[in-house]
Amino acid sequence: MADDQQSTNDDTSTSPARSTAPRRITDDARRASRRAGEQLGRFDYRRPRYPHNDYPHDIHPALVPGISIDEQRRTYTLGKTVFAIAGALTVAFVIWGVTDPESVGVVSGAAYTWATTNLGWLFNLVAIIILVAMIGIALSPYGKIVLGTDGEKPEFSTFAWVAMLFAAGIGIGVLFFGPSEPLTYFVSPPPLTNEAESTQALHHAMAQTYLHWGFHAWAMYALVGGAVAYAAYRRGRALLMSSIFRALFGDRHTDGFAGKLVDIFAIIATLFGTAAALGIAAMQIGTGVSLVSGAGPLTNNMTVLLILVLTIGFVISAVSGVSRGIRYLSSINIVLTVGIVGIVLFVGPTLFLLNLLPSGIMEYLGSMFDMLGRSLSWGEETVAFQSAWTVYYWAWWISWSPFVGIFIARISRGRTIRQFLLGTIFIPSTLLFVAYGIMGGTSIWMYTNGAEGFGSEMAAPEVFFTMLDNLPNMGWLSVVSIAVLSIFFITSADSASVVMGMLTSRGDQAPRRWIVVFWGLVMSGIAVVMLLLGDATALQGLQQLVIVTAVPFALIMLLAIIAWLRDLRTDPHTLRHTYAQTVMSNAVVDGVDRYGDDFALQVIETEPGLGAGAAVDSENEDYTGWYQRTDEDGTPVGYDYTTGEWADGWTPPDEGASATSSSDPASSDDPEPAEDAGR
């Protein structure tokens, strides 16, 4: 027995490979695995462990944590070229439209006819490409990249973020188009679809409305918002449309005329897109006032006068410092709008609406491709419908994308690209499906049941107030709705003017007040011209100019996809992902070949050209050029990522000391979430 025990001890002591060594290897592997996991989650990329003297600031591009806009040194001044060209063109247009609206109508009508006949396919194609590209980026490895520096957390909670996204898509559109658009498609279905006022026409009417207000619209906003947020909070660039194109145009052209041209087109698109919304709001408010007061039919002169009065309200809010109070009213407006929709649901035909909502959504999903495929090849009637509705909407969303995109970029800092894109595309769309289903379903139900005031020839602005009049004991809702629409007009003009002020002030997040007022006045002037091209109940003038001015920006949107992808391809996260894929693939194959199941990974130095980055030229300027720090004049300055110190001793301003370095949407002159509501 003793001999046996001695034999065992001898075996143990003389054969470490059979017991002690395997146990030690297993423990070491477990510790290495734990350390790797800790490094992945906790490694401070500001403290590189290895000297990288061939790179800017001695930091490898894969270890750069990103640069935020408020970490950069930037002096904001008036962009004279952008302001002069955009301002001169739009002011000249307003003067021309006011003095000779007939000639403007002839020219815009001809341009509109040419654009819709020859470029209708382009708008459809842009809508499809953008949605597919955004979903593709979200589901790709790029989706894990943060819209901010490494480890940065979202600035707002998910609930607050969703609420603000919803705020960006609610307002004038819900109250104007929500009841009227589905009813229009029900009474006059799109060509070659269904019999008018049939059950099929009911569901297709909801699907057609959802197409115009759903995933494709929000994908356009997501493209601009995501690209701008990435450029500002990950690459440290200014909050400008032109910042998206630095990887595509190069620094010289982005800072030169090409970049200025992008910002000019963004301003013009925003001006006409927002002016259309203001014109619609004025038409809706005027109709409500006429119906409530019994003043008689709304005329063009009354609508123009109303725009002037509301513009005075905007100017007062912009120059008097009462904008924060307006923002509080805007928040209340969101609640009131949701409340109006809720009242319609529970006081109106509740059971009918609860059945219609899921049916309408499924009809939309099932017929989406068919609706997107309608073009000139389907005949002249289809072209006329597409021009009046689908193409107009794509142009409108394109025009609104700089405005809404910059807004949602500023509230999405710290979120991953995947969270941002999928959330922006699907959450507001779903909420709007519910709101439009309730409003449109109620107006159709009242029409089919012969409710008082409903008819097949109703003007769009009248549908909403006629619907409210048919709700029992809800006459007061009309007065509340007029107040809601009025505040939406003022706050939309205010915040859109701030965004255009940013675009003409090199990205200054607190542009000078006179610049904000200037753009607000120009925008109101364009709204007046748009209405003068039609009449008080027609959308023709609004549609014509929105479509014509959106054509160049549609092409810019396509270029923005390419530019953003080029940025993402050289992102530090992408570079780390490339290294990880290479090293894991090589190591696993080699480990299994040499040791079977019993191997672990260890980081060691290799010969040049044989490591994880063998296929990557990490010294290429595409990887290194963007994180070279500069002073206010663009001169390179040393920077220590370990300590965060600048070589010339410059220190960032204290938090809140400068509005231009603030990322808080609630700062005094920044667009507020609620302000951007009211399309």
Q: In CATH, what number is assigned to the domain containing residue 407? A: 1.20.1740
| Residue 25 pLDDT class (50, 70, 90 cuts) | very low
588: number of Cβ within 10 Å: 12
| Residue 473 pLDDT class (50, 70, 90 cuts) | confident
pLDDT, average across residues 653-668: 40
pLDDT at 422: 95
* Measured CA distances, 101 to 104, 280, 283, 414, 660 (Å): 5, 19, 19, 48, 40
| % of the chain with per-residue pLDDT over 90 | 22
pLDDT, average across residues 434-445: 94
| Residue 577 pLDDT class (50, 70, 90 cuts) | confident
Q: Quick check: 642 pLDDT over 80? A: no
pLDDT, average across residues 323-349: 79
Lowest mean pLDDT among 81-90, 108-117, 167-176, 614-623: 167-176
Q: Which residue has the higher pLDDT, 131 or 114?
A: 131
pLDDT at 297: 67
pLDDT at 126: 93
Tell me how far apart the alpha carbons of residues 410 and 389 are, in angstroms, rounded to a whole number: 31
pLDDT, average across residues 452-471: 85
pLDDT at 136: 96
pLDDT at 351: 95
Q: Which residues contact 440 (CB under 8 A, 6 or more apart)?
A: 178, 179, 181, 182, 183, 205, 206, 209
Measure the N-to-C terminal CA separation of the chain; round to a whole number of Å: 92
Name the amino acid, one letter, at 332. I
pLDDT, average across residues 329-356: 87
Establish if 378 belongs to a structural domain: yes
* Measured CA distances, 308 to 282, 313, 524, 538 (Å): 10, 9, 8, 19
Total domains in the chain come to 1
| Residue 445 pLDDT class (50, 70, 90 cuts) | very high
Q: Quick check: 20 pLDDT over 60? A: no
pLDDT at 529: 80
Establish if 466 belongs to a structural domain: yes
Q: Quick check: 120 pLDDT over 50? A: yes
- Domain range for 125: 91-570
pLDDT, average across residues 74-94: 87
Q: Quick check: 4 pLDDT over 70? A: no
* Type and span of the H or E element at 163: helix 158-168
Quick: pLDDT tens for 295-331.
666 676 777 888 888 888 778 777 765 555 556 666 7
pLDDT at 146: 92
- What's the mean per-residue pLDDT of the chain? 80
Q: Which residues contact 538 (CB under 8 A, 6 or more apart)?
A: none
Establish if 564 belongs to a structural domain: yes
| % of the chain with per-residue pLDDT over 70 | 84
Name the amino acid, one letter, at 385. F
The sign of the dihedral angle between the CA atoms of 20, 23, 26, 29 is negative
The residue written with tokens 């809404």 in the block is: 404
Q: Quick check: 130 pLDDT over 50? A: yes
| Residue 660 pLDDT class (50, 70, 90 cuts) | very low
Establish if 100 belongs to a structural domain: yes
Q: Which residue has the higher pLDDT, 673 or 421?
A: 421
pTM of the model: 0.84
pLDDT, average across residues 360-388: 86
* Whether the Cβ atoms of residue 318 and residue 494 lie closer than 8 Å to each other: yes
pLDDT at 18: 38
Q: Quick check: 123 pLDDT over 80? A: yes
Establish if 9 belongs to a structural domain: no
Lowest mean pLDDT among 16-30, 185-199, 535-549, 606-620: 16-30
Q: Quick check: 32 pLDDT over 60? A: no
pLDDT at 381: 85
Phi/psi of residue 639, nearest 5 degrees: -150, 135
Q: Quick check: 659 pLDDT over 70? A: no
Q: Quick check: 37 pLDDT over 70? A: no
* Whether the Cβ atoms of residue 512 and residue 501 lie closer than 8 Å to each other: yes
Establish if 74 belongs to a structural domain: no
| Residue 38 pLDDT class (50, 70, 90 cuts) | very low
Q: Which residue has the higher pLDDT, 261 or 616?
A: 261
pLDDT at 592: 85
The residue written with tokens 């290429």 in the block is: 620
Range from 217-231, 569-583, 633-647 that averages highest in pLDDT:
217-231
pLDDT at 654: 56
pLDDT at 316: 78
Lowest mean pLDDT among 61-70, 363-372, 384-393, 526-535: 526-535
Closest residue by Cα to residue 255 from 394, 547, 263: 263
Range from 2-6, 462-466, 557-561 that averages highest in pLDDT:
557-561
Q: Any idea what DSSP says for residue 548?
A: H
Tell me how far apart the alpha carbons of residues 486 and 333 are, in angstroms, rounded to a whole number: 10
pLDDT, average across residues 568-589: 86
pLDDT at 434: 93
pLDDT, average across residues 367-385: 84
Q: Which residue has the higher pLDDT, 313 or 518?
A: 518
Tell me whether residue 209 is exposed, middle or buried, using C-beta atoms within 10 angstroms of its C-beta: 0 to 12, 13 to 18, 19 or more. Answer: buried
pLDDT at 224: 93
Q: Quick check: 151 pLDDT over 60? A: yes
623: number of Cβ within 10 Å: 22
* Measured CA distances, 377 to 383, 385, 388, 548 (Å): 9, 13, 17, 22
* Whether the Cβ atoms of residue 237 and residue 246 lie closer than 8 Å to each other: yes
Tell me how far apart the alpha carbons of residues 98 and 404 are, in angstroms, rounded to a whole number: 29
